[in-house]
Structures are given as structure tokens and as C-alpha cells.
A and B are shown apart, each in its own frame.
Chain A
């Protein structure tokens, strides 16, 4: 009995020790779990996550033309970054003065943001978008920088930003690009009118829609430009002046990409088609002067259906 008792006692002691060990293990697991639950367990954070350490911005120049440059930007981590294009500064090397250059670019963007924000606050707007949302990029971005002059040097650059401290958070990526003397993009504008609606189709040499080519267009009633037509005998003069204006003041242009359908009812668009009136539509690529200008003429009727190709353009003398 004694032996058995002793045996039982030993067993109890062993069990107790094991229990203690298990308890210790449990305590240990709990010890690990508590900070995990507090700090590491996934919670629903709805703010865009961003990093500021070891962030690299990649920039790929996809297309350089005479009036625009298309760039692709991406980051190796989720991060905010600034992108810009500008004329090169004389006697300044941005690669050897990176920090100064980046801070200047950031300050300049922030100064613009403050003016914008100040305007909203004056209007008693309580909720104003933050700088990161207004002026910085996040995620992959494709940007077509328009309004550039042909045959000119530009700096295209990007760098990561810490939106909380308003400081650069990584290295500058900068490329010196030179716009072409003349556009080499092979594109033509086809134009369709169906009743109150018209459509612009920027088409490549294979007949596919090019949705990356910036253009603008304008439809005018011939009566509105009668004096110009009377003076020069052609509406083309009006449209060439329009194209020159856009070339000189590109910021004035409404820029479109891909197919553009418009209802010309004078309500949702500024143009309004009227029965029996003669119209001219000018379509101009924002890629240098006159390169892709097409002007189409038509007489509008309620049930009219037209489809114009570039060979129908009235400005044949301006064609390539």
C-alpha cells in the first residue's frame, strides 16, 4: 500500500509538475499572444498604408513626342511620391544636389496646396483633402505630360515622400528628355455624326483606337465664322488660328483620350446642332503644331448620319 501510495504520490507530483510545465507553457503562449493581439493582430485600418524606408520609385519613359511625354511610375513598396516635369535649371545639377532639389520641389508643391487649402478654408469648408491626396501619387501611375514645346529639353522626375513630415523619403529618379522636333505618331482622326450626337475616333495605322494620344476638338456653326471665311475664302484659317492658340496656351485645351462621344444639345455641351445649319469640326492632336489637324464640314439634319475619314478633311494642304 505504501509503495502504491508512494507511487501515487510520485505520480501526483509528476502530474503536478507536468501541469505546472503546461501552465508555464500556457503562460508563455499567453505572454506571446497578448502583445500579438494588441499590436500585431490584423485590424481594420482603412487608411492607405505607406512606407518611408527603403522606398524606390521606378520611372519608365514610354513615349516621347513633340508635344507630350508619357511616363509610367511605380514603387517597390506602398508609398507616396511626387512626380513632375519642368524646364531644366541652368548651372544646377539635380543629381549632385538631390536633397536640395527634392525639398525645393516638395516645398513648391506644398505652397500650391496651401493656397488651394486656404481658399477652401475661407469658404468655411471644414473637411479639406490632405496634401497627400491632393498633390502626391500612390500606387502605379501612368501620366501623360502635355503642353510641351517641340525640340526642347525637360526634366521628368519622381521621388518618395513622407506625407507626415513633408520630407523626401528616398532617392530622386530624374531623366532628361528632349521632345521631338516633329511628331512621329501615326494617327488619324475619324469623325461620326449621328443625329444630335457626334463621335471622335483617334485611330492608328491598323485601324485600332489609340487611347493614349491627347487631342482636343471644336465644333462651330459656319455662321459664327462667316467673317473669317469671307476674308480668307476658307474655314481653315479659323482652325489654324485655333490650333496656334492651343499650341501657345496648351493649358486652355480640354484634353481627351480615346473615343469621345458628345451630345450637342447646348445643355451638356457648349455646342448645339440646329436644323439646316452648316458646321465645321476641327480636331487637333496636342502634339506639335498642325500635325494631325483635321477639319470636317457637314450640314446638320435631325436624322443625318455621316462618317468622315481623314481623306474627307477640308484642310488637305495641312496634311503630312
Chain B
């Protein structure tokens, strides 16, 4: 896992998008988006529906090819990489839905991700017994402990309550040992208690692992409580950027995104 948090202001960029454009036919989903995420920073991307948040995430994870622009991670362009290679470089994604392996046990779910982290994208080890891969098992165990699911290790993932499935999903993303974690609406569809538990989890991960993350979220309360910096998108463009306090008081944001509602 990545270590410690450096001082943010002079920390090097971990992820940078440079003039990112994505067009679907005539529609411009992402229009010249340049964001800069420093190592150890917690950045939230907010914006109304259709603002281009999901497109931005999909571009970074390489599910979509940009029409123009570049994505630089740890100093290298990742625009020509495949999705799994991006993960191997250190960008992991937590999905909007509980994207898990339902028929496998909780432990196996974590082990899959740990295997990819420890073993690389592919190996010819089809005659190696799994018990020999102790580092994979240890990493999976540590990850489950950090998301509070170790006591359910033997449970079939499909049998978990929804909140725990989401935690497992975040656990899978963490077990890939990322430098940067992309979280796509981590509390979507959760009850208030589950939402609170997830916020606690994010806070904890943030403290313990010093992870850099980019959060896409609708729930303003979460965004304002966990972010160092907020990027506001509207119609594919960055319309504002700043600390939670700055964003809270920004009239443009209130007009475009919050519809003039006082926060």
C-alpha cells in the first residue's frame, strides 16, 4: 500500500488530464477537461446529471477512448493502455453498483484482486497450488480487515446485505493495491446507516492508507466532509474548482449546479 501523506501543496501530480475531450457523435460529453490530482489528495468531482462525470471516470479507467487530450499518471501517458493495464499501474476503481463476484466467498473476492496485485495481469501458474501463494492470501486478509469484513470471509458474497456488498466492492478495489482510487458514487442506493458506515470507511481508509482518491458523488454532505478539493463539472466543462468552502460560496456553482439553493 502507498505510504504516508506528503504535504499537499508541493506534492507532485499523481494524475493529470490534459485537455480531455470525448465526443459521442455530435454530443460533447467531456469538453477540454484538465484536472490535476496531487499525491495524497482527496478530490471530488461533482456536477448535475449529464455533466460528464461518468465519462471522465470511464476515460481515466480506459473504458472509453478520448477524442482528444492526454491522461498522465505518475508522469507517463496512459492513454494507450488497456483497462487492466491501468489497474496494474495503480488506478483502481470502485463501481457505482456492488460489482462483486457473487458466487465466490468474500475471501475469494478479495483474493482475486490481491492475485492481480501480487501476480501481475497474467501468469502461466496453472499448475501451482493456491496455498503456495501466501502473500496473496495475506493481502486479501488485510484488505478484508480494513473494510471490516474479515469475520464474513467464508460467506458467499451474494448472501451479504447490500451495504456489506458495497464495502466488499470497495475492498476489492483496495486489494488491487492502488495508488489512486476512483470511487463512483460509493453510497448510491444505500440506507442512511449504510451511508454513514461508508463515510466512516472512507475516512478510515484515508487516514490509514494515505490513499489518493477521486470521488464522484451526488450526496453533498459526503463530498463536503471527505474532500480536500472539489471539481465542479457542468455540460462537460470544469466550471469551478476549489476547497469545499470555496465551492460552497461560489455563486456560479450555486447557479449552474445547485439551482440557486443555499447550502
Do A and B assemble together? Answer: no
